[in-house]
Chain A
Amino acid sequence: MSTLSTTTSASTIEHRGHRSALLYNVYCEIMKTIRVPIFAVSLFLLPAMLFSLFVLPSVNELQNGVSVGKYTMPSFGVYVVMMAGVFSTGITIANERGMKWNLLLRATPMKISTYFASKVIMALLIGAGAAIFLFAFARITAGVNLGIGLWAELLGTMLVAMLPFIALGLFLGYAVGPQAAAGVANLVVLPLSFMSGLFIPYESLPHFARIVAPYLPAYHSGQLGWHLIGAGDDTSVAVHLLWIAGYSLLFVVGAFFFYRRDEGKTFG
């Protein structure tokens, strides 16, 4: 029998001590994402499939001075963390707005900083997971081996490269409604990946794409990784980092603007 129904005085109810909300919220955010089958497919299965179809056949050929297998690790790595960043934050936020979960959450003592910090940490962890899966898959199926040090550095680089796309996810999550969110996210990520030389190397892109690519965030994210494995372009890493920082700022400002607009509609 529940203690609630038998006791009448507050002092005899057992109270738990205080525990971290942030850590458990990160756990919940991760569970919310990976329990949706489409995420597992988009972040793990699909990249593995694309790798098998397009890279495996030519994995030992040369590209920009390194093997194709090595060259595609940053390419696919950026694609994977970009998907992870945009989808894990964007789709979940759009859905949560649509079902008014944010209304109930606002009525609790949860701090807004906890809410957003959890989303960002979750995105980074999922991005890391997806990247590690990709690297392992490439190692096992194609024997691509960067050595443990370089793998670790590449992973770290991918997480830095992911930041603008986490911000983009926040932007989309507040700008777009739940029905449109998945569609818009795909419409953004896939062309962006192609145009930035992630699937087809920059040199092989059509003329107009080669002009546009250096202005795209995914291109600079990719360059961070390509520089690391010795296949980078002539621009310095510092410049690429500047582009990434710039796009992150742009998307954060956009996210903030649409967040305020959503606040006005929901709580106005």
Chain B
Amino acid sequence: MRNPEIPVQLVNATKRYGSENVVNGFSFEAQPGEIVALLGPNGAGKTTSISMMLGLKRMTAGQATIFGHTPTDIAARQRTGIMLQESGLPATLKVREIVELFSRLYPKPISNQDAIEAAMLTHKSENRIANLSGGERQRLYFALAIIGDPDLLFLDEPTVGMDVTARNIFWERIRQMHARGKTIVLTTHYLEEADALAERIVVMNKGHQVAAGTPTEIKAGVMGKIVRFRSPRLALTSARLNALPGIDKVRTEDNRAELYTKTPEETVRALLNGDFDVHDLEVTGASLEEAFVALTTDPAA
């Protein structure tokens, strides 16, 4: 059922490459005016999902709509702006020329000057694209994504390779777009970025959704402690580690073990009472990234 109010909707999408389902029955929706982040490690299927939502990749199964239209319809394209992870630009055109070209593709574009200023490229406006640095190219992609004043904005890993300053400025631009009522779908593998920008996070791994909620809910679900120790007899005892109380996840390498737990006291007590031959015991807070890794990687056998 196509609803023209819903900016983007993906229903039960599957994408098969060879014998593998890169995206497996994934459904996703963005509400008007919200910023939603699609979060997951590399290879989770985020970019493929976005491509299917945009009609840039054919779905093996499933449906996608943008404002009720088929994504490849011009009516859908005219309301959508996209910043893609993998794309190129003609090297010999100037910045203002490519911006002008894109501007003419949309019914109600903003001025070239505004788009170039928002991307902080005013001083490079006469330069050829070949002469831009990596970061400047990223910003140009952003200018091209917003020149059409789209109601729906897709940003695919937009701050990869940016330094902290550039990233913060970029985040500010996103917040400004959001304040103007735009719907923004952001894919990222940085939990910090999803946390900073999104009202809602969908966590994706191995082609399907593993969690969804507000940033607070997601963090509460993953935050905890890591208990680390060394044991000369780890090879013999590692199988029993999973049976310890409070264990979310166990990782072992050589004779070192990492136990992820939200109840570290309980876990440590059981660890020390059990026959584990524990040395160099450490209990630390899991950083956001470590907690995220715990959520999205397979538990050790």
Q: Which residues of A pack against B, CB within 8 Å?
A: 2-5, 7-10, 13-16, 18-21, 24-25, 28, 31-32, 35-36, 96, 98-101, 103-104, 106-111, 267-268
Cα–Cα distance between A36 and B82 once the two chains are bound (Å): 28
Q: Which residue of A lies closest to B115 (CB)?
A: A4
* Complex contact B114–A31 (CB within 8 A): no
* Complex contact A16–B97 (CB within 8 A): no
* Complex contact A109–B90 (CB within 8 A): no
Chain A residues lying within 8 Å of B106, measured Cβ to Cβ, are 109
Chain A residues lying within 8 Å of B117, measured Cβ to Cβ, are 2, 4
Cα–Cα distance between A99 and B89 once the two chains are bound (Å): 7
> 9 tightest A-B contacts by CB?
A99-B88, A104-B87, A2-B117, A109-B77, A35-B92, A21-B104, A15-B108, A107-B82, A101-B88
Task: State whether A2 and B114 are in contact (beta carbons under 8 Å apart), knowing that A8-B180, A31-B93, A103-B56 are contacts in the complex.
Answer: yes
Chain B 69-101, CB within 8 Å of chain A: the 1/0 string? 000001001101010101111101100011011
Q: Is B134 part of the contact surface with A, judged by Cβ < 8 Å? A: no
Q: Which residue of A lies closest to B118 (CB)?
A: A4
* Complex contact B90–A96 (CB within 8 A): yes
Chain B residues lying within 8 Å of A21, measured Cβ to Cβ, are 101, 104-105
Chain B residues lying within 8 Å of A3, measured Cβ to Cβ, are 114
Whole-angstrom distance between the Cβ of A104 and the nearest chain B Cβ: 4
Q: Is B109 part of the contact surface with A, judged by Cβ < 8 Å? A: yes
Chain A residues lying within 8 Å of B87, measured Cβ to Cβ, are 100-101, 103-104
* Complex contact A107–B56 (CB within 8 A): yes
Cα–Cα distance between A268 and B82 once the two chains are bound (Å): 19
Chain B residues lying within 8 Å of A10, measured Cβ to Cβ, are 149, 180-181
* Complex contact A14–B111 (CB within 8 A): yes
Given contacts A8-B179, A32-B92, 7 further A-B contacts (CB under 8 A): A13-B114, A13-B180, A16-B111, A25-B104, A28-B90, A104-B84, A267-B56
Q: Is B18 part of the contact surface with A, judged by Cβ < 8 Å? A: no
Chain A residues lying within 8 Å of B233, measured Cβ to Cβ, are none
Residue among B103, B105, B118 facing the most chain A CB atoms (10 A cut-off):
B105
Q: How large is the interface on B (under 10, 10 to 19, 20 to 34, 35 or more residues)?
A: 35 or more
A/B pair count, beta carbons within 8 Å: 113
Q: Which residues of B pack against A, CB within 8 Å?
A: 54, 56-58, 74, 77-78, 80, 82, 84, 86-90, 92-93, 97-98, 100-111, 114, 117-118, 128, 141, 144, 146, 148-149, 173, 176, 179-181
* Complex contact A101–B90 (CB within 8 A): yes
* Complex contact B90–A4 (CB within 8 A): no
Task: Give 25 CB contacts A-B under 8 Å.
Answer: A4-B114, A4-B118, A4-B176, A8-B180, A14-B111, A16-B110, A21-B101, A21-B104, A25-B101, A32-B90, A35-B128, A36-B92, A100-B86, A103-B56, A103-B84, A103-B86, A107-B54, A107-B80, A108-B105, A109-B74, A109-B105, A111-B74, A267-B57, A268-B57, A268-B58
Chain B residues lying within 8 Å of A19, measured Cβ to Cβ, are 103-104
